[in-house]
Chains A and B, each alone.
Chain A
Amino acid sequence: MSASPAPALLIDDPAVLVEALQRQGWRVIGPQARDGAITYDPLTPGATLPKGLTDTQEGGHYRLGAGDPGRWFDYVVGPQSWKKHLFPSRQKLWEASRTDDGFAVTPVQDDYPKTAFFGVRACEIAAMEVQDRVFDNGDFADPGYGRRRAATLIVAVNCTRAAATCFCASMQTGPRAKAGFDIALTELATGTGLLVEVGSDRGAEIVDGLDLPRANAAHRAEAEAASAAAAAMQTRAMPPGMAGVLAANLDHPQWQVVADACLSCGNCTMACPTCFCSDVEDVNDLSGDHTERWRTWDSCFTVDFTYVHGGAVRRSTASRYRQWMTHKLSSWEAQFGTSGCVGCGRCIAWCPVGIDITAEAAAIAASPVPKE
């Protein structure tokens, strides 16, 4: 996606853009209010975008409720991330059948039509770019992921408010998307529409057909200010330099403190938009003549995750929490050249007991174990 010099435009109703995408043959996946939360599901033709909703989030707490009825995007990230579409939670890799002289492998058709993700937040674009380094990296690429990613158009929504669990500003991943989108929307003062920015040629093609009015400098300034306000209202932050701090504090007593609270349930890793671990399972039928290989989301919080002959390596919850957090914030940088955390706050909100990664980081940073 190349940066486009196209001028910013204005749109009154974001649903017009959804309909335009659908008319042009895009499957649109976007926010839906389902089961008391914002989820990312395919928008059937005629489906309405949620409006007038806002969320309240804290450690282990999420409530979707009524907000300003005139506003489209006053909620922020919910329980799911776009990961579930690019890296499905359960996926058949191949199947095989017994033949007279061995077995024959049948590859699986990966049916992913051209798809527009509608309403992608800046931290979520950052998360996709983190997963790109894991799955779409040349030497060890996952071809299915690469195909899905290439067939996906990104319509970003810049946040104009933050939840109490958000800390993207401290991770430098938001709240304003600088790149990585085809089209970006920023909601202006209630009732005055949304700023439309174009980030790629294919984004421009879609927007050109809508005959939208041009935005002026004041609109742009207002959008920038709204994003700045969303950054300023963030109450959580990741302390700086955690990669080094954690690497130097592998025996810190805080690991046991957090383990006493941790359920080792795996919710943080499932909700995280960058966690990428999977398990592979062979499923044969009763006759033994047919088998399938399935890949499913796995978590470093399970015992089986480190099972080798004779037992599991990480038996204690302290060792498993430490693995997750040090990988996310420290060894990820050595492995992939970025932090594995984008500051979306899902691991805080969707932890049933509200464990807060920023608080855990701060506790260790505040009392490092002295070097012997």
Chain B
Amino acid sequence: MTDQLFDALIELADDNLVLGHRLSEWCGHAPMLEEDLALANLALDLVGTARALYSLAAEVEGKGRTEDDLAYLRVEREYRNLLLVERPNGDFGHTILRQFYFAAFMEPFWSAAAAGSSDARIRAIAAKAAKEMAYHLRHSGEWVVRLGDGTDESHRRMVAAVDALHHYTDELFVASPAAEAMAGAGVLPRREAMRAEWDRLVGQVLAEAGLTAPDVPWPQIGGREGLHGEELGHMLAEMQYLQRAYPGATW
């Protein structure tokens, strides 16, 4: 039970940290100042949730590891994040669509966890994260509509983003053995139960944006087993560099 809770928390924490780091890569590079700050805000929400989840995982594990050990001292095969969140930023359209797909899952997920988890520590993390995800969903959804239904160029780029990212979305609903066990114990919501709400949210926004979800004959999955694209290794190399080069460094 403890091992499975640890594993399930790590999966969620890795999703948040990897996507948070990806968003932080925009800092200083966004198309406009307003969006530069917006993306950094979203990144900080995700990194904050990741910290809370890693801390809880470390406490559950009880081996004296810290949130930093879990974030900085695991290699890519030990990372359990979804493939969707590690996808490179691409253009702003890719980034905002990736955010929308993720938030359309996490908002209902954290809301359900805040209301129904049997673990008070998870209810507390979920209640905070649910509010943040509601804003991520609003912000990214509004952008998807405006870019999809904008100029010829923005529409073309959003079509490309949907084609590039949609086949990573089935993995949102895949439950690892740990996630399955935690759902059975009432600690975390069942991932598959978010399907109807995700389909509704995504269907509504894509329709308004004039975009069509493609058929996905071969969903891309494997992140929960540590099977990642090569891009995650590059990302972790940069993210972990300081702790690898100067172990224990603090500032």
Q: Do A and B interact?
A: no
